Amino acid sequence: MKYFALMLLLILSNFYILPANAAVCRNYDGHQICILSINRSAKNYWEYRAILSVDGEKRPLEVYNCRQKVRIQLDGTVVPFENQDPGQFICSFFKKS
């Protein structure tokens, strides 16, 4: 039930993100990473729901947890950030200065 609620939240949050065709792209560790859509969690400000494109390949919607340094896939799989991971890019890009 918990994962169903997370998946439903992920899907619904996709509609309240960036306007169509408003991507932010950066070169990061030799890869072009584009943020196609992103939404910050109101309850957990350290979490972002985002759809990324890495080197032109679109990734599905995932939750990036900047506090625990993990990303949560639609099926509920938790994947830790690797060195120079796009998740680290997301967290550093929106880090308060």
Rounded mean pLDDT of the chain? Answer: 81
Count of domains observed in the chain:
1
Model confidence, pTM: 0.72
- Residue 19 lies in domain: 2-93
Phi then psi for residue 6, to 5 deg, are -65, -45
Q: What sign results for the dihedral spanned by CA atoms 60, 67, 3, 75?
A: positive
pLDDT tens profile 19-39: 445 678 989 888 899 999 999
Q: Is there a contact between 49 and 63 (Cβ–Cβ < 8 Å)?
A: yes
